[in-house]
Chains A and B, each alone.
Chain A
Amino acid sequence: MSENASTASAASIPKPPGPPLWLLAEVTYQCPLHCVFCYNPVDYAQTGPELSTEDWLRVLREARAAGSVQCGFSGGEPMVRKDLEILVAEAHRLGFYTNLLTSGVGLTAERATALKQAGLDHIQLSFQDSTKELNDFLSHTKTFDLKRRTADIIKSHDWPMVLNCVIHRLNIDFIEQIIDLAVELGAEYLELANSQYYSWAALNRDNLLPSRAQLERAERITNACREKYGDKIRIIFVVPDYYETRPKKCMNGWGNVFLTVTPDGSALPCHTAKMLKGITFPNVRDMSVSDIWYQSTAFNFYRGDGWMKDPCRTCPDKEKDLGGCRCQAFMLTGDAANADPVCDKSSMHDRVSQAVAYAQVPDSQREVAKPMVFRDFKMLRHSDVR
């Protein structure tokens, strides 16, 4: 206590952050899929030209020098980039732990061999899942064959097999089949991540948010499967934060460990932060990674707690969750400095609880069926979705 008291005067000055340990390189927004929960911006089609190979190599060097250790190659579908092997090789040479986050589309045996030679450490294979493909997958048709092939490629190159499946209202009831299939594919880790409601998933929220009964059933089944399969597979189940009463410590804090570089070179503290219109995010074409991380206005914007308003400012839990997610606060309340309305101390918590209440209404009893919005390039050029 006495220590707290003596340092109280310095409390408003944020501690200098540690290094940007995690670099997420979103190398392209191009993707052959049309996932309804995609977190890429809904206006991704308006993004400027992609960074060149040289730009990315420089970003990798600068980030590594600044202390980054994990590098995720993501997108879009990163396999679309023909220079991916070059980027992975440089990341590996620099001492990054290299992760590829892919749907498996484009991951041929030849490219897998090249990526292995380049030093790729890990592949996270995601279930490509829009509703049609889900049916294909669950019925062992085309999609399953692709996953089988990709899983075999991953295994034969001695990569750890990590599967990721975004869970939502339309597939959560099939959770047991999904887990069984993951085991059948030989996955060592399975991440069942409930959709988070940003970007495309926010447009489709009413169609994607599961009911409480669905969620409880899924958790029960997941626990039973954990017992059944034991050490054979490790299953991680991520609950949708809408069902919580306290918000998540989003990205472990703004500008704390995580740095995303988007296809056009924007540097963000998380992959959806570009939606925060009041902040100008720096670009790696104009600024070094170190300056972006330590000096830029954007990365210092929500560091510390000086920006907080009530109820966060005076909340005993403020260090624990840092007021939740800035993007969620912005989307649901119009001001990113408000408490994340997932928190039941937020005066706007009803915006979350109303969505949760609606999620309890069975599809058959919903008066207006909202159409699902599939991620699509053409549609966006002619529409004004958020």
Chain B
Amino acid sequence: MSAIPIEVPTLMDLKTCPRVARMFKLQWEEVQQSWVLLYPEGMVKLNGSAGEIMSRLDGTTSIQTLISTLEQQFETPDLQADVLDFLVIAKRQGWVQA
């Protein structure tokens, strides 16, 4: 859409296989009906789509595969931008590592 070339951060290479960062523990919380990230003395409650993305990061699935899986599973096309946007935030927060 934009003519300005966008610098793609290393992690966002579609072939990378990110995983939840060492300091964090991701789990489904039945009581809260959501995915949460736990870390020393703290918790991040993830919203629905963030949880769907984070719960599929296993260090062996590429971002490309992740996007296709989500698009199929939720029958929604063109999720790439949304997924990448979230992953940039997650990386900045230190939640994921490549």
Q: B5 contacts the other chain (Cβ, under 8 Å)?
A: no
Cα distance, A160 to B40, chains bound together (Å): 8
The 5 A-B residue pairs with the shortest CB-CB distance, nearest first, are A67-B31, A97-B38, A122-B40, A19-B31, A160-B23
Nearest CB in chain B: distance from A279 CB, A: 26
Contact B31 A70 (CB under 8 A): no
Q: Mark B27-65, 1 if CB is under 8 A from A, else 0.
A: 101011000101111110000000000000000000000
Which residue of chain B is the closest to A65 with respect to CB atoms?
A: B31
Task: Tell me which residues across on chain B come within 8 A of A18, comparing CB atoms.
Answer: 32
Q: Which of A67, A69, A189 gathers the greatest number of chain B CB atoms within 10 Å? A: A69
Q: Which of A21, A66, A70, A97 gathers the greatest number of chain B CB atoms within 10 Å? A: A97
Q: A35 contacts the other chain (Cβ, under 8 Å)?
A: no
From residue 11 to 53 of chain A, which have CB atoms closer than 8 A to chain B? 18-19, 21
Task: Tell me which residues across on chain B come within 8 A of A70, comparing CB atoms.
Answer: 38, 41-43
Q: A99 contacts the other chain (Cβ, under 8 Å)?
A: yes
Task: Tell me which residues across on chain A come within 8 A of B23, comparing CB atoms.
Answer: 160
Contact A95 B40 (CB under 8 A): no
Which residue of chain B is the closest to A121 with respect to CB atoms?
A: B25
* 15 examples of A-B residue contacts, CB within 8 angstroms: A19-B32, A21-B43, A67-B32, A69-B29, A69-B36, A69-B38, A72-B41, A95-B27, A97-B25, A97-B38, A121-B40, A122-B41, A124-B40, A124-B41, A160-B22
Which residue of chain A is the closest to B42 with respect to CB atoms?
A: A70
Knowing A19-B32, A95-B27, A160-B23 are in contact, say whether A69-B43 is a contact too (CB < 8 A).
yes
Nearest CB in chain B: distance from A334 CB, A: 33
Interface of A is mostly: loop
Interface of B is mostly: strand
Task: Tell me which residues across on chain B come within 8 A of A97, comparing CB atoms.
Answer: 25, 38-40, 43
Task: Tell me which residues across on chain A come within 8 A of B41, comparing CB atoms.
Answer: 70, 72, 99, 122, 124
Task: Tell me which residues across on chain B come within 8 A of A124, comparing CB atoms.
Answer: 40-41
Nearest CB in chain A: distance from B97 CB, A: 14
- 14 additional A-B pairs beyond A70-B38, A121-B25, beta carbons within 8 Å, are A19-B31, A66-B31, A69-B38, A70-B41, A70-B42, A70-B43, A97-B25, A97-B38, A97-B39, A97-B43, A121-B38, A122-B40, A158-B22, A189-B40
Residues of A in contact, count (CB < 8 Å): 18
Residues of A within 8 A of B (CB): 18-19, 21, 66-67, 69-70, 72, 95, 97, 99, 121-122, 124, 158, 160, 162, 189
Nearest CB in chain B: distance from A10 CB, A: 24
Which residue of chain B is the closest to A99 with respect to CB atoms?
A: B41
Task: Tell me which residues across on chain B come within 8 A of A21, comparing CB atoms.
Answer: 43
Cα distance, A66 to B39, chains bound together (Å): 20
From residue 75 to 97 of chain B, which have CB atoms closer than 8 A to chain A? none
Nearest CB in chain A: distance from B91 CB, A: 14
Which residue of chain A is the closest to B41 with respect to CB atoms?
A: A99
Q: Which of B22, B25, B41 gathers the greatest number of chain A CB atoms within 10 Å? A: B41
Task: Tell me which residues across on chain A come within 8 A of B36, comparing CB atoms.
Answer: 69
Task: Tell me which residues across on chain A come within 8 A of B40, comparing CB atoms.
Answer: 97, 99, 121-122, 124, 160, 162, 189
Cα distance, A162 to B41, chains bound together (Å): 10
Task: Tell me which residues across on chain B come within 8 A of A67, comparing CB atoms.
Answer: 29, 31-32
Cα distance, A124 to B40, chains bound together (Å): 8
Task: Tell me which residues across on chain B come within 8 A of A189, comparing CB atoms.
Answer: 40
Nearest CB in chain B: distance from A290 CB, A: 11
Cα distance, A226 to B41, chains bound together (Å): 22
Nearest CB in chain A: distance from B45 CB, A: 9
Q: Which of B31, B36, B40 gathers the greatest number of chain A CB atoms within 10 Å? A: B40
Q: Which of B29, B31, B36, B43 gathers the greatest number of chain A CB atoms within 10 Å? A: B31
Which residue of chain B is the closest to A162 with respect to CB atoms?
A: B40
Task: Tell me which residues across on chain B come within 8 A of A19, comparing CB atoms.
Answer: 31-32
Cα distance, A250 to B5, chains bound together (Å): 48
Nearest CB in chain B: distance from A216 CB, A: 28
Which residue of chain B is the closest to A66 with respect to CB atoms?
A: B31
Task: Tell me which residues across on chain A come within 8 A of B29, comparing CB atoms.
Answer: 67, 69
Which residue of chain B is the closest to A161 with respect to CB atoms?
A: B40
Cα distance, A146 to B24, chains bound together (Å): 28
Which residue of chain B is the closest to A95 with respect to CB atoms?
A: B27
Cα distance, A99 to B23, chains bound together (Å): 12
